[in-house]
Structure 1
Amino acid sequence: MWGWLMGELVSGSRRVPLRTVDVAGESGYSVQQVRDLERLGVIPPAARSSNGYRSYTPLHVHALRAYRGLAAAVGPVTARRMLAELRTETIAEAASAINAVHVRLAREREEALRAQQALRAIQAEANATEFEHESDAMTITQLAGALNVRPSTLRFWEQEGLVTPERVTSLQARRYGLSAIRAARIVAALRGTGYSIPAVREIMGSLHQLDSLGRTQHILQQHLDQIATRTVALLRAGADLAAVVGDHGS
């Protein structure tokens, strides 16, 4: 009965004063977390009565719920910054900021899917190739063009121990055989999805056999699953974000 009544108070248009314990119960946070998040600026400062007790409104509950979803989607630091900005922006500006998060998640998903496709192509090539021919090798310029990166990027990957070319001329020109080309393509795929150099190095260290490409595919699938979870969290926060933005604009 109490949960139903509180839901009516939060979802309705009436501004019924709420205690800290009420807000905690409705938002899913503890009383101390509500106070901490108020101190961090996630929610507006609560009104104080003459005896010092905090007095909240349904807007505070909406803001806390919105923060939960935003934090899951973009991280707590970015979520705190966004909520603080949403309270001062116009409706158009706030809607644009929220839409940008959706776009960012969609872009991350597209990049991860492209990486998966690239790794499948690499696996297919590896399974179809029994011998490495001289004509299969690439120069640094050719490989950079094929990967749509700069030659300096390939040299950086070499310095980091991610890709190891051969040097076959008196001028020490680089020559990339099939194994080096495959490694460069895997590095490009992982970097394209946002993996850091240390993370890529760890993954590449395990790719001593072609079967290990399956592990990389598994890592990318985990990344896709995480993006999906973050997207759902943002969708769940939608109504509460709308309440925060709508309150400011009203």
Structure 2
Amino acid sequence: MRPSDLAREHGISTQAVRNYEESGFLPPAARTPSGYRVYTEVHASALRAFIALIPAFGHARAGEIMVALNTGALDDVLLAVDRGHEQLLRDRETLNSVSRAVEDLTDFEPVLRPRSIGELARRLGVTPATLRAWEEAGILVPQREATGYRTFGAEDVRDAELAHLLRRGGYPLARIALVVEQIRTAGGTDTLGAALADWRRRLTARGLAMIAASARLNEYLSVREPVP
């Protein structure tokens, strides 16, 4: 098979196929005496797996999975897949919590005591600098102790969870600030409802993409040549 044969199936350029091979996303191709690449069904299966992984895990993670697979690091492959499913599960749980918050602003995971900026950052898996940026954008309005340290109560944690969810959905900080303000004032929630519905559709699409990617990975595992 030629690079054009693989490229045509996915509507990509032959240069993209060569780039994917050079990046390790595809196994190395054999060469003719004149230097032309020769691909096989193994390479076609690898490319199908890589293309399927992108909507499921993102381009960077998809590349990491294929490189690990092509170098025989199967444990790393499984770990990356597990982490993707773990993130999807957390997104679903957070989305459900925020959806309940729309119906009843008090129905959100409670915090027993105020959290410091470091504790809240660890809870969300972000950096304190990210939380400070959200504060500057008006998304978070933490209390200040006499010492000047920020403290985040139950409503602050709710707002931070919502911001984290929508940020992963690709929403800009300014739009998130408007949505969070709606929650704070218990006013209209049309914007929030639309944002959550859109993100739920994205999560469903990602979940289905993960199923499709798993099938393609399994196909590739069944035909790939053992790594020396």
Q: Normalized against structure 2, the TM-score is what?
A: 0.67
User: 1:64, CA displacement in angstroms?
Assistant: 1.3
Q: Which residue matches 1:97?
A: 76
Q: Is the 8 A contact 1:65 1:237 kept in 2?
A: yes
Q: Give me the whole-angstrom Cα distance separating, in 2, the residues matched to 1:108 and 1:76.
A: 16
Q: 1:247 to 1:142 in 2, by over 3 A?
A: same
Which runs of 5 or more residues in structure 1 are unaligned?
Answer: 1-17, 129-139
> Deviations 1:104-128 (Å, cap 9, x if unpaired)?
2321222122222322332333499
Q: Which residue matches 1:8?
A: none
Q: Aligned match of 2:199 in 215, 220, 236?
A: 220
- Corresponding residue SS for 1:86: helix
> Deviations 1:151-199 (Å, cap 9, x if unpaired)?
99698454553222567x98889898xxx85454132244268739984
- Corresponding residue SS for 1:247: coil
- Corresponding residue SS for 2:84: helix
> Deviations 1:214-242 (Å, cap 9, x if unpaired)?
24422431441342243134124223331
Q: 1:32 to 1:111 in 2, by over 3 A?
A: same
User: 1:84, CA displacement in angstroms?
Assistant: 2.7
1:164 matched to 2:141: yes
Report sequence identity in percent.
Answer: 22
Q: Give me the whole-angstrom Cα distance separating, in 2, the residues matched to 1:70 and 1:115.
A: 24
Q: Give me the whole-angstrom Cα distance separating, in 1, the residues matched to 2:64 and 2:149.
A: 49
Higher Rg of the two aligned structures: 1
> Deviations 1:81-132 (Å, cap 9, x if unpaired)?
332332222xxx41x333223322321222122222322332333499xxxx
1:106 matched to 2:85: yes
Q: Which residue matches 1:205?
A: 178
1:232 matched to 2:211: yes
Q: Is the 8 A contact 1:115 1:193 kept in 2?
A: no
Does 232-241 or 180-189 show the bigger shift? 180-189
Q: Which residue matches 1:142?
A: 113
Which runs of 5 or more residues in structure 2 are unaligned?
Answer: none
**Using CA pairs below 8 Å that are at least 6 residues apart, which structure has the higher relative contact order?**
1
Q: 1:200 to 1:249 in 2, by over 3 A?
A: same
Q: Normalized against structure 1, the TM-score is what?
A: 0.62
Which residue identity does 2:213 align to in structure 1?
Answer: L
